[in-house]
């Protein structure tokens, strides 16, 4: 990664009103909202060479969204002809390409531009932004840099000495062939449970290294019938109705996650039937049985994960990995597992995304320091004219991130219009953000996510800065209006 210092003068920089970082669902959505509000003086900085974010980077076999296509897509850009009820990665990526072209966003995109620093210059009233391919100055900075975007690699002795193929799930090596391989999959989270059944039939042997067992529940994905596609195309209201139905069914789950975790006990009965239907070995069943409340870690849908784990060429390893050697993985019980490939399905730097350390507000404070002070996941005290998409406590365990992103986009559009009407600058009041975060941190320990498991939802201090602790319609209500009283404007 190349680094650059923040420029001191705005003279040689490209001047623009709005700078957006990232060309995933957030950044592209922000550009569309700006266009709708009549703004065209904008640039989207994207470090990769294509749009897509998550759905460009995660090309591992079996990659699929866990939320239905009709809800996991922009409400303002429906696609009537989704081929399956839950979209696969290729179809989502293609959708984002089409949205980009259809909305004329290509002219604003600057690929290969990795933001290496961004600093608020209070005198110039500009964000000064350095990238690997030039410097920019903007009146507003909108960061759509993603929260599941920076691979988290395990810090295990000897990992650099491994002589075979080693890859993170989000950096899949497509020249790698599964046939005849002895493979280690490290982790049993959302990506692993999609990868394992996809490669199990081809590999010679698969060792799945599990730290904690996930709850894997039945998946209801199926092809969308041609008649339904036609109906959605001819009568768009029917697709909107489907979207609403899915939304409300998922929202019911929030009651279990955030209000009354006991409700989720019923789902455990369905999970057990699902698991025991595929796995007969009592020892394996015990190892696949989570020791925490359902929902505390992300609940994962798959019909073929448990059957794959039960296959003779698969071993589930529950001992901790303590060392990598050139041709093996060693576990705490002293066992040496000979492998030629390691797939790290080890997740992402979520609340410690390295980009946060490169964004500096007033007083030299970086977003990495200020992340936990974010208000409505979108604006940060000490970061004037700055908007964050999918920021602190906007994540969900039960529904579509697109709903949260669109709520934020409405808030941003209202914020820009109000700031423009009153001098062109806004700064959220620290006391407003502090009261909001205190409220969230009071609520979160009472949710299922605070019920005692260790998960990526929690940071190194055990604080949950990841998830929204309630109904998504409550987030939508709170972000409906950019309340002027919460800000210093002008």
Ligand X SMILES: Cc1cc2nc3c(=O)[nH]c(=O)nc-3n(C[C@H](O)[C@H](O)[C@H](O)COP(=O)(O)OP(=O)(O)OC[C@H]3O[C@@H](n4cnc5c(N)ncnc54)[C@H](O)[C@@H]3O)c2cc1C
Interface region with ligand X, contact rule CB under 6 A, candidates 24-32, 205-213, 309-317, 373-381: 24-32
Q: Is 401 in the site for ligand X (CB under 6 A)?
A: yes
The single residue among 103, 191, 366, 385 that binds ligand X, judged by CB under 6 A, is 191
The single residue among 7, 53, 361, 397 that binds ligand X, judged by CB under 6 A, is 53
Nearer to ligand X, 145 or 330 (CB): 145
Q: Is 144 in the site for ligand X (CB under 6 A)?
A: yes
Minimum Å distance from CB 144 to ligand X? 5
Binding map of ligand X across residues 67-106, x = CB under 6 A, - = no contact: x----x----------------------------------
Q: Is 58 in the site for ligand X (CB under 6 A)?
A: yes
Q: Is 406 in the site for ligand X (CB under 6 A)?
A: no
Q: Is 48 in the site for ligand X (CB under 6 A)?
A: yes
Contacting ligand X within 351-390 (CB under 6 A): 355, 389-390
Q: How many residues bind ligand X (CB under 6 A)?
A: 33
Minimum Å distance from CB 151 to ligand X? 10
Interface region with ligand X, contact rule CB under 6 A, candidates 31-39, 122-130, 140-148, 207-215: 140-148
The 3 state secondary structure assigned to the chain is CCCCCCCCCCCCCEEEEEEEECCCHHHHHHHHHHHHCCCCCEEEECCCCCCCCHHHHCCCCCCECCCCCCCCCCCCCCCCCCCECCCEHHHHHHHHHHHHHHCCCHHHEECCCCEEEEEEECCCCEEEEEECCEEEEEEEEEECCCCCCCECCCCCCCHHHCCCEEEECCCCCCCCCCCCCEEEEECCCCCHHHHHHHHCCCCCEEEEECCCCCCEECCCCCECCHHHHHHHHHCHHHHHHHHHHHHHHHHHHHHHHHHCHHHHHHHHHHHHHHHHHHCCCHHHHHHCCCCCCCCCCCCEECCCHHHHHCCCCEEEECCCEEEEECCEEEECCCCEEECCEEEECCCECCCCCHHHHHEECHHHCEHHHHHHHCECCCECCCCCCEEECCCCCCECCCCCHHHHHHHHHHHHHHHHHHHHHCCCCEEECHHHHHHHHHHHHHHHHHCHHHCCCCCCCECCCCCECCECCCCHHHHHHHCCCCCHHHEEEC
Minimum Å distance from CB 194 to ligand X? 8
Q: Is 24 in the site for ligand X (CB under 6 A)?
A: yes
Which spans of this chain sit near ligand X (rule: CB under 6 A)?
A: 21-27, 45-48, 53-54, 58, 63, 65-67, 72, 114-115, 144-146, 148-149, 190-191, 355, 389-390, 400-401
């Amino acid at each position: 990664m190349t680094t650059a210092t923040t420029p001191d003068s705005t003279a040689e920089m490209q001047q623009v009103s709005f700078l957006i970082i990232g060309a995933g669902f957030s950044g592209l959505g922000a550009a569309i909202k700006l266009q709708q509000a009549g703004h065209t003086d904008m640039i989207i900085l994207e470090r990769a060479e294509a749009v897509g974010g998550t759905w460009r980077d995660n090309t591992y076999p079996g990659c699929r969204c866990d939320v239905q296509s009709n809800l996991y897509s922009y409400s303002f850009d429906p696609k009537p002809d989704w081929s399956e009820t839950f979209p696969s990665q290729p179809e989502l990526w293609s959708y984002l390409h089409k949205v980009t072209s259809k909305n004329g966003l290509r002219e604003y995109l600057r690929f290969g531009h990795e933001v290496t620093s961004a600093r608020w210059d209070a005198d110039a009233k500009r964000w000064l932004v350095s990238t690997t391919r030039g410097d920019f100055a903007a009146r507003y900075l909108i960061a759509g840099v993603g929260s599941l975007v920076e691979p988290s690699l395990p810090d295990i002795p000897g990992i650099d000495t491994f002589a075979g193929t080693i890859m993170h799930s989000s950096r899949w090596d497509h020249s790698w062939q599964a046939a005849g391989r002895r493979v280690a999959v490290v982790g049993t989270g959302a990506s692993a449970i999609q990868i394992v059944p996809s490669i199990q039939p081809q590999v010679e042997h698969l060792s799945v290294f599990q730290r904690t067992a996930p709850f894997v529940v039945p998946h209801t994905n199926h092809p969308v019938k041609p008649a339904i596609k036609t109906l959605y195309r001819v009568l768009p209201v029917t697709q909107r109705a489907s979207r609403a139905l899915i939304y409300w069914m998922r929202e019911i789950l929030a009651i279990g996650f955030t209000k009354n975790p006991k409700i989720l006990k019923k789902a455990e009965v369905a999970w057990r039937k699902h698991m025991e239907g595929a796995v007969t070995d009592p020892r394996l069943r015990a190892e696949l049985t989570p020791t925490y409340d359902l929902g505390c870690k992300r609940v994962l849908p798959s019909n073929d994960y448990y059957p794959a784990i039960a296959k003779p060429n698969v071993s589930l390893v529950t001992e901790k990995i303590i060392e990598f050697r050139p041709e093996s993985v060693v576990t705490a019980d002293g066992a040496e597992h000979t492998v030629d490939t390691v797939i790290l399905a080890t997740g992402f730097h979520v609340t410690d995304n390295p980009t946060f350390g490169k964004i500096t507000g007033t007083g030299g404070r970086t977003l990495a320091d200020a992340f936990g002070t974010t208000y409505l996941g979108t604006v940060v005290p000490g970061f004037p004219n700055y908007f964050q998409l999918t920021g602190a406590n906007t994540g969900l365990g039960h529904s579509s991130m697109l709903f949260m992103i669109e709520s934020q986009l409405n808030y941003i559009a209202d914020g820009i219009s109000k700031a423009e009407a009153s001098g062109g600058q806004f700064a959220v009041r620290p006391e407003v953000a502090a009261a909001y975060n205190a409220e969230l941190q009071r609520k979160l320990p009472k949710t299922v996510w605070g019920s005692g498991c260790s998960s990526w939802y929690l940071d190194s201090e055990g604080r949950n800065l990841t998830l929204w602790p309630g109904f998504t319609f409550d987030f939508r209500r709170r972000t409906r209006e950019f309340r002027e009283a919460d800000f210093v404007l002008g």
